[in-house]
Amino acid sequence: MAISALQKARAQYSPKLPSSIASGNVKIKEGAATQSVADQDEIKKLFPNTYGMPIVTFENGGGCGKASMPAFNVGVILSGGQAPGGHNVISGIFDGLKSINKDCKLYGFLGGPSGLVDHKYIELTSAIIDEYRNTGGFDIIGSGRTKLEEVEQFDKGIEICNKLGIKALIIIGGDDSNTNACVLAEYYLQKKAGIQVIGCPKTIDGDLKNEMIETSFGFDTATKVYSEVIGNIQRDANSAKKYWHFIKLMGRSASHVTLECALQTQPNITLVGEEVEAKNQTLDDIVNYIAGIVANRAAKGMNFGTLLVPEGLIEFIPAIKKLISELNDMLAANQAEFDKYENVDQKIKFIVDHLSKENAAIFESLPTAVSKQLALERDPHGNVQVSLIETEQLLAEMVSKKLAAWKKEGKFVGKFSTQHHFFGYEGRCAAPSNFDADYCYSLGQVAAQLIASGKTGYMSSVRNTTKPADQWLAGGIPITAMMNMEKRNGKMKPVIQKALVKLDGGPFTFFASKRDEWANNTCYIYPGPIQYFGPSEVCDQTTKTLQLEHK
pLDDT tens string 431-468: 999 999 999 999 999 999 999 999 999 999 999 999 99
Domain check: are 503 and 545 in the same one?
yes
In the chain, % of residues over pLDDT 90 = 82
**Length of the chain counted residue by residue:** 551
Report the CATH number at residue 549.
3.40.50.460
Domain check: are 228 and 156 in the same one?
no
Domain end point (choices 388, 414, 440): 388
Report the CATH number at residue 334.
1.10.10.480
Domain check: are 239 and 257 in the same one?
yes
In tens, the pLDDT along 492-545 reads 999 999 999 999 999 999 999 999 999 999 999 999 999 999 999 899 999 999
pLDDT of residue 378: 67
Domain check: are 253 and 322 in the same one?
no
HEC profile of 484-510: EEEEECCEEEEEECCCCCCCCCHHHHH
pLDDT of residue 66: 56
pLDDT of residue 33: 94
Domain check: are 225 and 329 in the same one?
no
CA 123 remoteness from chain centre: 28
Asked which of 63-72, 149-158, 184-193, 436-445 is least confident by mean pLDDT, the reply is 63-72
Residue 57 lies in a domain: no
Residue 124 lies in a domain: yes
Alpha-helix residue ranges (DSSP H) falling in 14-168:
19-22, 40-46, 86-100, 113-118, 126-132, 151-164
Domain check: are 405 and 540 in the same one?
yes
> Apex CA 81: angle with CA 77 and CA 82, to 5°?
80
Q: Domain tally for the chain?
A: 3
pLDDT of residue 376: 75
Cα(221)–Cα(296) distance, integer angstroms? 34
Domain end point (choices 332, 360, 388): 388
Residue 281 lies in a domain: yes
pLDDT of residue 23: 85
Alpha-helix residue ranges (DSSP H) falling in 101-150:
113-118, 126-132
Residue 486 lies in a domain: no
Half-sphere exposure in the Cβ direction for 486 (13 Å, CA): 16
Cα(436)–Cα(413) distance, integer angstroms? 47
Residue 63 predicted with pLDDT over 60: no
Confidence class for position 385, pLDDT limits 50, 70, 90: confident
Domain check: are 181 and 291 in the same one?
no
Residue 1 predicted with pLDDT over 80: no
Those residues with Cβ within 8 angstroms of residue 224's Cβ, 6 or more apart along the chain or in another chain: 264, 433, 527, 530
pLDDT of residue 374: 81
pLDDT of residue 61: 80
507 exposure class (CB count in 10 Å sphere: 0-12, 13-18, 19+): buried
Task: Check if the beta carbon of residue 508 is closer than 8 Å to that of residue 64.
Answer: no
DSSP 416-450: --EEEEEESHHHHTSPPPHHHHHHHHHHHHHHHHH
Confidence class for position 389, pLDDT limits 50, 70, 90: confident
Confidence class for position 367, pLDDT limits 50, 70, 90: confident
Task: Check if the beta carbon of residue 444 is closer than 8 Å to that of residue 462.
Answer: no
Alpha-helix residue ranges (DSSP H) falling in 366-433:
368-374, 391-408, 425-428
Domain check: are 84 and 206 in the same one?
yes
Task: Check if the beta carbon of residue 206 is closer than 8 Å to that of residue 219.
Answer: yes
pLDDT of residue 341: 87
pLDDT of residue 335: 85
Tally DSSP H helices, then E strands, for the chain.
Answer: 24, 15
Residue 67 predicted with pLDDT over 80: no
Domain check: are 196 and 245 in the same one?
no
In tens, the pLDDT along 329-342 reads 888 888 889 888 88
Domain end point (choices 358, 388, 418): 388
Cα(263)–Cα(220) distance, integer angstroms? 13
- CA-wise closest residue to 255 among 222, 217, 207, 221: 207
Residue 56 lies in a domain: no
CA distance readout (Å), 86 to 113, 172, 463, 497: 15, 8, 18, 22
Confidence class for position 112, pLDDT limits 50, 70, 90: very high
Residue span of the structural domain in which 328 resides: 315-388
Other C-beta atoms lying within 10 Å of the C-beta of residue 519: 20
Task: Check if the beta carbon of residue 179 is closer than 8 Å to that of residue 503.
Answer: no
- CA-wise closest residue to 106 among 25, 160, 23, 167: 167
Other C-beta atoms lying within 10 Å of the C-beta of residue 551: 9
Residue 344 predicted with pLDDT over 90: no
Domain check: are 237 and 363 in the same one?
no
Residue 479 lies in a domain: no
Average pLDDT estimate for 238-263: 96
Residue 13 lies in a domain: no
Those residues with Cβ within 8 angstroms of residue 159's Cβ, 6 or more apart along the chain or in another chain: 119
Domain check: are 199 and 266 in the same one?
no
Pairing of strands 473-478, 418-423: unpaired
CA distance readout (Å), 85 to 38, 60, 103, 439, 470: 31, 26, 25, 8, 19
Phi and psi torsions of 78, nearest 5°: -95, 125
DSSP 272-337: -HHHHHHTT--HHHHHHHHHHHHHHHHHTT---EEEEEETTHHHHSHHHHHHHHHHHHHHHHSHHH
419 exposure class (CB count in 10 Å sphere: 0-12, 13-18, 19+): middle
Cα(98)–Cα(3) distance, integer angstroms? 27
Using CA atoms of 192, 193, 195, 196 in order, give the dihedral in degrees to the nearest 10: -30
Confidence class for position 343, pLDDT limits 50, 70, 90: confident
Residue 411 predicted with pLDDT over 80: yes
Task: Check if the beta carbon of residue 311 is closer than 8 Å to that of residue 249.
Answer: yes
In tens, the pLDDT along 461-493 reads 999 999 999 999 999 999 999 999 998 877 899
Residue 420 lies in a domain: yes
The catalytically annotated residue of 95, 175, 176, 205 is: 205
CA distance readout (Å), 272 to 141, 227, 395, 514: 35, 16, 14, 14
Confidence class for position 386, pLDDT limits 50, 70, 90: low
Put simply, whether the predicted model's pTM sits higher than 0.75 gets the answer yes
Cα(467)–Cα(446) distance, integer angstroms? 18
Taking all residues of the chain, what is their mean pLDDT, rounded to a whole number? 94
Cα(113)–Cα(143) distance, integer angstroms? 8
The answer to whether 205 is a known catalytic residue is: yes
Domain check: are 248 and 201 in the same one?
no
Report the CATH number at residue 144.
3.40.50.450
